[in-house]
Amino acid sequence: MALLTLPLAMSLVSPASAEAVLTVTPTAAIGPVAVGASPTASFTIDPDPGGEPVHLDWTVRSGTLETDPVVRSGSADVTPDVDGVVSLTFDTPTELGEGTYGLEVVASDDVPGTGPATGTSGIIDVVVLSPPTVSVSTKIRKFFPYHDNFQDSLRYRVTSTGRARVQVTVREASGSEVFMVASVFLTAGASRTLTWGGGLPGAGQAPAGRYVVSATATDPAGSVATADMTVVLSRAKLRFGDKTVTRLPTKTIVGRSVGRCSSLRTPSSHGWRGSQGYYSRSRCASSANHADVVLGQHAIWLPRAVHDDYHYLTVWLYGGKAKGARSAYMILTNLDKRGRVYGSEQLSASLGWHRGQPVYGPEVVRKASGRPYLSWVTGLAQGSRYDVKKFKITVERQVLRNPDGSIEWPATGGAAGTSEPVASAPALDPRTYLP
């Protein structure tokens, strides 16, 4: 019986030995970091290099894909620390600004019993941020922390161009800190409106003076930006205060109506500078078609008032009977804000100050080009002859008064009674202003 025999020996072929692979593992996320920074990345290497230096080649790409171009690269031999962690400092591109870049680290080492080995970390995200810009602004730079509805508190806006934690403080202009107002987180381009009512920590109130509002923004990369704004805290309060304005009639007249038998002369018979003489029937004795009538409309810019709030106003006239006149009287007529008659007063012939009727501000104060003014009419007829030397207007207006009694605003009374004319008035109808 034949036996089937097999070869007793074959050469055993072992496969070619592959290069050993290192495992490169980041120990923590990188960043965010500031533009142009040189951050540090940390890794563990497996197998452990055993305290021997490891060669690291690194590249930074413009994005997080392997196909993105390399914008920075380098190499270093790094010795692990006692915990087996290797740390690598690398560069980020300044010219590309903020964004998310990709870092890849390739480690090379001779592994005992195995030989050369390499390994890659893969692409690691690196977030790079531009430093934030912070601003602090307000519509008012002066406030009055008293509950009278006039700029009672400081409302201001804090804005950051980048994501940041913003701390706001208020300090005296001399430099000592008063207190931290707020600590807020803002997203890129966001704003927050904050308020300071003049209070101090606890129950105190800050004294009047100049203060600096400071905003300090710190973004996730640790970049810091600051902005300051100086404001003024005043302890003045809204109060009504009196103001008197005196002007010549030639500086206040804006309209006139003179009958054919009458005249309006400058100066008057008394010869006062800037005065006016109202002379009925100075040319003839007729009264037909209002020939004996003399009317003058006057107007004056008022001193400034908070909220344009005027309480009572009174027009006074200094004058009296013209020289050589047999009879004299004057009618002083107040006009409301629509130019209509608001009340009249007949003034006596005696030489001196004569008071018109007090009028209520909200019903008589008018505006031209945003400026408040008051208007009135003086007139006579029936042969009366009257000289007017000057007018004075007493104005009760709302002002800001300091604790010591001084007026803080308006500090100089504004443009009260300037010689600039208010406006030209239309022709006056004698039937409106005279009995």
Distance of alpha carbon 391 from alpha carbon 235, whole angstroms:
36
Q: Does position 15 have pLDDT exceeding 70, yes or no?
A: no
Residues whose CB falls within 8 Å of the CB of residue 296, separated by 6 or more in sequence, listed in order: 249, 253, 255, 256, 264, 276, 278, 377, 378, 379
**C-alpha torsion 403→405→411→413, nearest 10:** 140
Average pLDDT over residues 2-29: 56
Residues of the chain above pLDDT 70, percent: 91
Q: Helix (H, G, I), strand (E, B), or coil: what is residue 432?
A: helix
| pLDDT band (50, 70, 90) for residue 147 | confident
Lowest mean pLDDT among 9-13, 17-21, 122-126: 9-13
pLDDT of res. 87: 94
**DSSP annotation of 288:** G
Average pLDDT over residues 191-220: 91
Domains and CATH numbers, the chain: 21-129 (2.60.40.10), 134-235 (2.60.40.2550), 241-433 (2.60.120.260)
pLDDT of res. 110: 87
The Cα angle at residue 400 between residues 395 and 405, in degrees rounded to 5: 90
pLDDT of res. 247: 95
Distance of alpha carbon 186 from alpha carbon 336, whole angstroms:
53
Q: Does position 8 have pLDDT exceeding 50, yes or no?
A: no
Q: What is the mean pLDDT of the chain?
A: 89
Distance of alpha carbon 383 from alpha carbon 262, whole angstroms:
9
Lowest mean pLDDT among 226-230, 391-395, 428-432: 428-432
β-pair partners for 246:
392
Which residue would you say has higher pLDDT here, 5 or 96?
A: 96
Q: Does position 14 have pLDDT exceeding 50, yes or no?
A: no
Q: Helix (H, G, I), strand (E, B), or coil: what is residue 289?
A: helix
Q: What are the phi and psi torsion angles at 140 (to 5°)?
A: -125, 145
| pLDDT band (50, 70, 90) for residue 425 | low
Residues whose CB falls within 8 Å of the CB of residue 46, separated by 6 or more in sequence, listed in order: 22, 23, 25
Q: How many residues does the chain have?
A: 435
Buried b (16+ CB within 10 A) or exposed e, 36-64: ebebebebbbebebeeeebebebbbbbee
**DSSP annotation of 304:** P
pTM of the complete model: 0.69
Distance of alpha carbon 387 from alpha carbon 276, whole angstroms:
6
Q: Could you tell me which of 302, 249, 258, 299 has the C-alpha nearest to residue 280? A: 258
pLDDT of res. 298: 95
Q: Does position 432 have pLDDT exceeding 90, yes or no?
A: no
* DSSP characters over 71-130: EEEEEEEE---TTSEEEEE----STT-SEEEEEEEEEEEEETTTEEEEEEEEEEEEEEEP
